[in-house]
Amino acid sequence: MQRSSVEETIESESHGGKRSCQILAVLLFLLASCGTESAYLLGAGLANFVYTDQVPTDYVAQYASGKQCSLLKAIQDGGPLCRDSFTREIVEKPIYCYRTLGLPTCYSTPDPYGTGAQKIQ
């Protein structure tokens, strides 16, 4: 059975991705192999990153600024590195409802047609 050129391309791309991951793993191992302490520190840093989504420099920035710092969030939303809080607040737009002949009618602006109707509480 012969393979099509698309199958060969997909297979070669998947092997290229595997190779780049293997190269990255080897480079990280070589960086950590300067001593056993550095291997422990690399492992601890990676474990900490997995659980907190903070890189070690975030802790230094937090200590210096007194605010919460996250490099990943800053890259993701383009905001500053350190902020008072990273929790998102959901703000709902007000709804203005008025009595009509049938069901109440609601708008995003108060009395858009200027009828002088009273708002339902």
Q: What is the pLDDT of residues 96-116, one digit of tens each?
A: 999 888 888 889 888 888 888
Question: 95 with 112: CB under 8 angstroms?
Answer: no
**Is 45's pLDDT higher than 80?**
no
State how far the Cα of 86 lies from the Cα of 72, in Å rounded to an integer.
11
pLDDT, mean of residues 69-83: 85
Percent of the chain, pLDDT > 90?
A: 2
Q: Where are the domains of the chain?
A: 1-52, 53-88, 91-121
Confidence (pTM)? 0.40
Q: Where are the beta strands (DSSP E) in 19-95?
A: 68-69, 82-83
**Is 77's pLDDT higher than 50?**
yes
Under the banding of pLDDT at 50, 70 and 90, the label for residue 8 is: very low
